[in-house]
Amino acid sequence: MKRLLVLGGGTAGTMVVNKLRPRLPRDDWKITIVDTDNVHYYQPGFLFIPFGIYRPDEVVRPRKRFLPSGVDLLLGAVDRVLPDENRVLLADGKDLPYDYLVIASGTAPHPEETPGMQDEEWRQSVHEFYTLEGATALAEKLQSWEGGRLVVHIVEMPIKCPVAPLEFTFLADAFFTEQGMRDRVEITYVTPLDGAFTKPVASKYLGNMLADRKIVLESDFMIESVDPERRVLVSYDEREIPFDLLVTVPLNKGADFIGRSGLGDELNYVPVDKETLLSKRYDNIFAVGDAADIPTSKAGSVAHFEMDLFPDNFLRHIHGLQMTQKFDGHANCFIETGHGKGLLIDFNYEVEPLPGKFPLPGIGPFSLLKETEMNHWGKVLFRWMYWNVLLPGKELPLPALLSMAGKDTEDLP
Amino acid sequence: MPVTTINGRGIHVDDEGFLTVYDEWDEDLGKALAAQIGIDMTDAHWKVIRFLREDFATQFETATTRRVETVGGVPTKEQFKLFPKKPQKKMAYIAGLPKPRGCV
């Protein structure tokens, strides 16, 4: 009996077992998935909780519900992987041997990595929305906040869902406008990047959208510390940004056990081949989703497109054949922009987000890099798709690899 | 791909002046590139630049400030002192490496 062990039952890990279980004979393969708890979060929904658009119970389901029969869910924390012995040790002492290991343990915020961030102002005037607890605390804060300086801030790239802080900023602008208090709120967007976003064309569009909303962009800001007493952000080049309410995206890191196992880079992401997701060092270890070090967004969308190609590659690899499917870093993301509208971006390792129509060239129904109501409805409907189509590993009518058809390239240099 | 002349040598660079051919670089050129952006190279500067060169040879990617701190052993604060304002870009420029990639 061969053993496939999957570490992490989030978006990527759940899709891995749903895609592979039907293709690995039950008499030959035992599949086990390990996670610390039985709670699956719809993480894209966290963004909406601070504004009262979603309730916490709308983004939580039991993990087990999305796992197929023939897959064992084992609850426990991973102590370490022993890659030379093909074993995983859990904190409770369990010892799990494997033939193949898939690491799908994601990325998580680490506020303790920035001096002062988690001190006395944490969850008082210093907030985050990347955990259910944080998003819920911020919802409470916004209900009674009377205005002042709102600072939305990113510590360092890469982060999970790199568009989320921009979306939060647009939604905050809309929220305060609807509350009739926009004139009492000063909004500043603080980023370590040299513009609103990473890539030039999208950065220009999104930068203009910030300016139109009278949101100040503070770029190239590498944070050194938060001073909770004076309520200021301090950068390494000694700039200071005062705040009354800070909404930060803390440093993101992969799981600690990856570091302890010697499998990670300086941020605990697993170095893999960016086309096949196979570990650069171990021939029987893959890393999928946010846990891998591939140069594209950390996002469920990437995990989804990976999973259109990964199962074929995995099956070829275990039979000693060359992997023929090559992942191109494809992702697409809806960006909420407030007042019932949204934007959509579609990109990969090589092609930056461009304007146009998606998925059908010239028709859409979605518009790329343009605010439309249809894009907003795409995002709203996506929650249903996530639970009912994506996680169970059913096919979405979208191509796995990026297509240039329908994209407008005139803004490219 | 533009070619520029530094120290009497033809060098391949991108639109922003970052070298595009790893092997066209040597420490004399690094010194000249540093002078162009107003940096006088000391031993402390060279420690960082040499780390970046060696790291790139195995990783094929320009090290981030975090990597220079955790793997190269030079604290971020010191990187800002040595290469003021935009250390990541300046270090890559002097080391003759591609501009650090901003992940999408």
In chain A, the domains with their CATH numbers are 2-106+255-318 (3.50.50.60), 111-251 (3.50.50.60), 332-390 (no CATH)
Nearest-by-Cβ selection for B104 from A162, A266, A413: A162
For chain B, give the percent of residues with pLDDT over 70: 96
Nearest-by-Cβ selection for A295 from B65, B80, B101: B101
| pLDDT at res. A399 | 85
The answer, for B1 touching chain A at a CB cutoff of 8 Å, is no
The Cα–Cα gap between B85 and A194 comes to 12
Nearest-by-Cβ selection for A237 from B66, B80, B101: B80
Distance from CA of A204 to the nearest CA of B (A): 14
Given B1, B57, B103, B104, which residue is catalytic? B103
Greatest mean pLDDT range, A187-191, B5-9, B100-104: A187-191
| pLDDT at res. B1 | 64
Distance from CA of A159 to the nearest CA of B (A): 9
Position B71 in a domain: yes
Q: Between chains, do A237 and B84 touch, taking CB under 8 Å as contact?
A: yes
| pLDDT at res. A411 | 77
| pLDDT at res. A100 | 98
Residues of B in contact with A198 (CB under 8 A): 102-104
Nearest-by-Cβ selection for A237 from B70, B85, B103: B85
The Cα–Cα gap between A354 and A202 comes to 7
Distance from CA of B89 to the nearest CA of A (A): 11
Position B102 in a domain: no
Residues of B in contact with A350 (CB under 8 A): none
Q: Are the C-beta atoms of residues A141 and A283 closer than 8 Å to each other? A: no
Distance from CA of B58 to the nearest CA of A (A): 12
**B102 pLDDT more than 90:** no
CA A342 to chain centre: 18
CA A233 to chain centre: 25
Q: Which structural domain range is residue B46 located in?
A: 3-95
Token pair, residue B75, equals: 């604290």
Q: Between chains, do B103 and A347 touch, taking CB under 8 Å as contact?
A: no
Residues of B in contact with A161 (CB under 8 A): none
Position B41 in a domain: yes
| pLDDT at res. B100 | 78
Which residues of chain A are modeled with pLDDT < 70?
413
The Cα–Cα gap between A270 and A291 comes to 6
Position B83 in a domain: yes
Position B100 in a domain: no
**Can you give the three-state secondary structure of chain A, one letter per residue?**
CEEEEEECCCHHHHHHHHHHHHHCCCCCEEEEEEECCCEEECHHHHHHHHHCCCCHHHHEEEHHHHCCCCEEEEECCEEEEECCCCEEEECCCCEEECCEEEECCCEEEEHHHCCCCCCCCECCCEECCCCHHHHHHHHHHHHHCCCEEEEEEECCCCCECCCHHHHHHHHHHHHHHHCCCHHHEEEEEECCCCCCCCCHHHHHHHHHHHHHCCCEEECCCCEEEEECCCCEEEECCCCEEECCEEEEECEEEECHHHHHCCCCCCCCCECECCCCCEECCCCCEEECHHHECCCCCECHHHHHHHHHHHHHHHHHHHCCCCCCCCCCCCEEEEEEEECCEEEEEEECCCCCCCCEEEEECCCEEEEECCCEHHHHHHHHHHHHHHHHHHCCCCCCCCCCCCCCCCECCCCCC
Residues of A in contact with B76 (CB under 8 A): 222, 224, 236
Domain total for chain B?
Answer: 1
The answer, for A222 touching chain B at a CB cutoff of 8 Å, is yes
Residues of A in contact with B77 (CB under 8 A): 224, 236
pLDDT digit string, tens, across residues B10-42 = 899 988 889 999 999 999 999 999 999 999 999
Q: Between chains, do B80 and A296 touch, taking CB under 8 Å as contact?
A: no
Residues of A in contact with B86 (CB under 8 A): 220
| pLDDT at res. B16 | 85
Residues of A in contact with B104 (CB under 8 A): 162, 198-199, 296-297, 331, 347, 352-353
Position B39 in a domain: yes
pLDDT digit string, tens, across residues A238-256 = 999 999 999 999 999 999 9
| pLDDT at res. B103 | 53
Interface test with B, best of A222, A290, A298, A354 (most B CBs within 10 A): A222
Q: Between chains, do B103 and A158 touch, taking CB under 8 Å as contact?
A: yes
Partner B, chain A 107-146, Cβ-Cβ below 8 Å = none
Position B88 in a domain: yes
| pLDDT at res. A258 | 98
Q: What is the ipTM of this complex?
A: 0.86
Q: Between chains, do A295 and B103 touch, taking CB under 8 Å as contact?
A: yes
The answer, for A297 touching chain B at a CB cutoff of 8 Å, is yes
Nearest-by-Cβ selection for B66 from A220, A266, A296: A266
The answer, for B81 touching chain A at a CB cutoff of 8 Å, is no
The answer, for A100 touching chain B at a CB cutoff of 8 Å, is no
Position B55 in a domain: yes
Average pLDDT, integer, range B82-99: 94
Catalytic residue list contains B103: yes
